[in-house]
Chains A and B, each alone.
Chain A
């Protein structure tokens, strides 16, 4: 009987607790506490994996100031998060979004829990089997064991061999993955960048040599070849340009218009009759090119 009274008391207590929880108010966090909590949910974009609340990088401090200012102006936590997502992408929030693969992360743990609990509920109801084990289980045979050993050795050797084979040996991919604020032009510039800078500075002769080096470094790059041809033109080697650039002018692609331009200008320099036709083809290919207006004037002046 005492147990029944206790049981009733427990039920009453449970109801009372639920009532208290539902009817009372939680804490009213200050702006600073809210900022800290929200900052803990944002990832600092330049510090490996730390949250904005943890990191003390300048970027993280700026983001904390921004969060605090927005919260003070009355925005909700959701709005602040959305604001950051707009500017930094979805992965700035430290919880996966519900679309894409993220839903898997939100779904699987509760599903695993439910599955596990159901198994427990089912298993404890199983009727006990009669008697003990049916005889002593035999150890596995030599064949199975050998097979296991073979599998272990084969897999253990194959995976590293395959992975190592595909491993990049050049540091470029490592540089591509490194943090954003690194300066790419400081260390070991690409010959194409050097050549472009020389072009910008008006040093076409020097740029020519640089473009030649760049074309060795990037043998498949049409853009490099076209620029090389352009510098050939600008340094007075117009005669060598047409054969160099004609194949580029024939292929379809984003570089075709520029190639047509260079070809046309070179032909014009050489006094070839096909120059106008080439230049008109250039105008058709890219009517909005920065040099188009100039070319139109050139053709009109004829």
Chain B
């Protein structure tokens, strides 16, 4: 019964999405306002929500006659993880993807009419076509609602790694809100290609959805890194895994788009470039979907091969071909006029352009490293390994240049080559950076760590200098400018965390017997015993470690391992003690059968917490920058922005 409801709801959603597309394209072609578009989108949302509700209902009621529940549900799983088990497997996560996508569609279709109404019609059309595709995928290639007979009495439960940590309820939805949200700028970009209008109306229409997607994606990626750190047992948070890269690449381009829009609002330049970024950001998200769900890359994050690969590849290729054809049709036009004259080398315009170039270069690097092994192996059979050493060597210098641009860019004059002004702007960050570089280097660090930390200091110094200047002048910067500064501060804090935790971390791993100790960086852990226990789902063993020395003197931690018999999998449960200066990270790798000892890994990771705080600041910056609700057609920010700059 539940299965039937779910299938029917999905089919209804698919029809409604198709209807929305038809209505939207009709509106776009004829200019008439069609309420059909709006209510068809709402129906699609209600239907998708119903089908998701049906699966959740079946999961919570332990209705094992539904295929998805039979494969992923269990009576022993706690309620929270039962709800989140919807997106623990491929089929169910596709339903979540659809829910997010159709939500965006409904909100976009229901948006009040604005200056870019004709664009909106085309955008709704494109988004509803994409939604129809993914709904069709879930309906025809998904097996969520298949019925199972004979009905089992219990199921294996979700993958243990995905039912052990509360982040499971937040990270995938956030990530999907971010990745799926990039379809809206894509829709608008296609609309601009079709109608030929990519003026200020386009910028205004795209800014809001882009910010939503960017904020969610930032938060999602950082949360995912934090989750990996807390759970995977080796204390790392980013391994340049292909699936991780697939969430990073759209983020890089979305960040580039955010910055290029700044220039667009100011000057009207970079029209085509912004369009290209909006398109590419979505296409890379689609590439990510293909790689993650087709089983083509081996990764701890990817879903097993689900048969969906060829269809997704077809979708990706069709999108690329469509965009190329449309762009080709437009290519005959003259280039729109350039900005208002030369921009000096040390000007904000140049800084923004350099920002875009660097972000795209990093994206190209990551794309190359992720895709080349797959392509090479499928065409020639030669196996290529691309991992952390490659990315570190290629991406870190680019990121350093990006930090440098961030340190001075926001305070530089827009275009004038006022050398005195430029030197005054650069002075504070440069001097602060130099002091930190020298200090860190003299304290015994590597050149790379010293330079990067110096650049972070330069960014912060630049922000402080700007603030001080404004206080002195009595100027109040606009909301968007403040939001950008918070985000930049977040970046600096995050990079400090990454640099410190990778350059100064100490790890020691040893087999201990009861009473033995292991020491790292001033913290000692003594094994006082081995705990064992079991609960409904798992058997767990833990090493009891007493810490001494350092900040956590006297603390007792229980890092352990949990074994889930239903799935025959073992999951690590490390113990992490966090503080502003760093973390003490204890993990158990193996426990002796007789309980007399354990193999323990103890690590001290300085300033790891700064990564999560920095990520949070970045997301906060995104939130602060949301455009005010539209009141008539008033242009919003340019006046204050110019005030903040022109002195």
Tell me, yes or no, whether A binds B. Answer: yes
Residues of A within 8 A of B (CB): 2-3, 6-7, 9-10, 13-14, 16-17, 20-21, 24-27, 32-33, 36, 40-41, 43, 48-51, 53-56, 89-96, 100-102, 104-106, 108-109, 112-113, 116-117, 119-120, 123-134, 136-140, 142, 144-145, 147-148, 151-153, 155-160, 162-164, 167
Bound form: Cα–Cα A50–B232 in Å: 12
Secondary structure dominating the interface of A = helix
Q: Is the CB of B364 within 8 A of A109?
A: yes
Contacts of A101 in B (CB 8 A): 372, 376, 380, 382, 384
Q: Are B298 and A48 in contact (CB under 8 A)?
A: yes
- Whether A50 contacts B364 in the complex (CB less than 8 A), given A3-B419, A105-B372, A128-B337, comes out as no
10 closest pairs, A vs B, by CB? A94-B387, A137-B196, A163-B310, A129-B337, A116-B357, A3-B420, A159-B314, A48-B298, A156-B318, A160-B310
- Contact, CB under 8 Å: A134 / B334: yes
Q: A139 and B194 in contact (CB under 8 A), knowing A49-B298, A105-B369, A125-B342?
A: yes
Q: Which residue of chain B is the closest to A145 with respect to CB atoms?
A: B194
B441 lies within 8 A of A20 (CB): yes
Nearest A residue to B387 via CB reads A94
Interface contact A40-B388, CB-CB below 8 Å: yes
Q: Which A residues touch B338, using CB under 8 A? A: 123, 126-129
B496-519 near A? 1/0 per residue, CB < 8 Å: 000000010011100000000000
* Besides A27-B446, A54-B232, A148-B322, 9 new A-B residue pairs in contact (Cβ under 8 A), listed by A number: A14-B434, A17-B438, A20-B437, A50-B300, A94-B389, A101-B380, A112-B365, A123-B338, A162-B310
Q: CB-CB < 8 A to A106: which residues of B?
A: 394
Do the beta carbons of B310 and A167 come within 8 Å of each other? yes
Q: Closest CB of chain A to B450's CB: distance in Å? A: 7
- How far, in angstroms, from A43 to B434 measured CA to CA in the complex? 38
Alpha-carbon distance A6/B429, docked complex (angstroms) = 12
A144 to chain B: closest residue by CB: B329
Q: With contacts defined as CB atoms under 8 Å apart, how many contacts are there between chain A and chain B in the complex?
A: 240
Query: Are the CB atoms of A113 and B318 closer together than 8 Å?
Result: no
Kindly state whether residue B234 has any CB partner on chain A within 8 Å. yes
Please state if A128 and B321 are interface contacts (CB–CB under 8 Å): no
Closest to B340 in A: A128
Q: Are A109 and B444 in contact, CB atoms less than 8 angstroms apart?
A: no
Residue pair A33, B506 in contact (C-beta under 8 Å):
yes
Other-chain contact of A26, B330, B372, B388, B444 (Cβ < 8 Å): B444
- Overall SS of chain B's interface: helix
Report the Cα distance A100→B380, complex, angstroms: 11
**26 contacting pairs across A/B (C-beta < 8 A):** A2-B420, A3-B424, A16-B438, A24-B441, A33-B507, A43-B387, A48-B300, A50-B239, A54-B232, A94-B390, A95-B393, A101-B380, A104-B372, A105-B372, A106-B394, A108-B368, A109-B361, A112-B360, A119-B357, A124-B349, A125-B342, A128-B337, A148-B325, A153-B318, A159-B317, A163-B314
Within 8 A of A (CB), among B135-161: none
A108 to B388, CA, bound (A): 17
Taking Cβ atoms with an 8 Å cutoff, the residues of B that contact A are 29, 193-197, 232-234, 236, 239, 241-242, 297-300, 309-311, 313-315, 317-319, 321-322, 325-326, 329-330, 333-334, 336-343, 349-350, 353-354, 357-358, 360-361, 364-365, 368-369, 372, 376, 380, 382-390, 393-394, 398, 419-421, 423-424, 426-427, 430-431, 434, 437-438, 441-442, 444-447, 450-451, 454, 503, 506-508, 589
Q: Is the CB of B384 within 8 A of A96?
A: yes
Inter-chain contact A109/B386, CB cutoff 8 Å: no
| Cα distance A160–B353 in the bound complex, in angstroms | 39
Give the Cβ gap from A197 to chain B, nearest Cβ, in Å: 30
Complex contact A140–B196 (CB within 8 A)? yes
A56-B234, A136-B196 in contact; A117/B382 too (CB < 8 A)?
A: no
CA distance A30 to B194 in the complex (A): 61
Q: Closest chain A residue to B196 by CB distance?
A: A137
Q: How far is the CA of A209 from the CA of B403 in the complex (A)?
A: 74
Complex CA distance for A162 and B233, rounded to whole angstroms: 42
Q: Is A13 touching B310 in the complex (CB atoms < 8 A)?
A: no
Query: Contact between B430 and A10 (Cβ–Cβ < 8 Å)?
Result: yes
A55 CB contacts on chain B under 8 angstroms? 234
Cα separation A27 to B326 with both chains bound (whole Å): 55
The answer to whether A117 and B354 touch across the interface, beta carbons within 8 angstroms, is: yes
CB atoms of A109 and B394 under 8 A apart: yes
- A21 touching B437 in the complex, CB below 8 Å, given contacts A128-B340, A155-B321: yes
Given contacts A160-B310, A160-B313, contact A32 B508 (CB under 8 A): yes
Query: A158 contacts B314, CB within 8 Å?
Result: yes
Give the complex CA separation of A40 and B235 in angstroms. Answer: 13
Which residue of chain B is the closest to A162 with respect to CB atoms?
B310
Chain A residues whose CB sits within 8 angstroms of the CB of B234 once the complex forms: 53-56
Per the bound structure, the CA–CA distance linking A25 and B444 in Å amounts to: 7
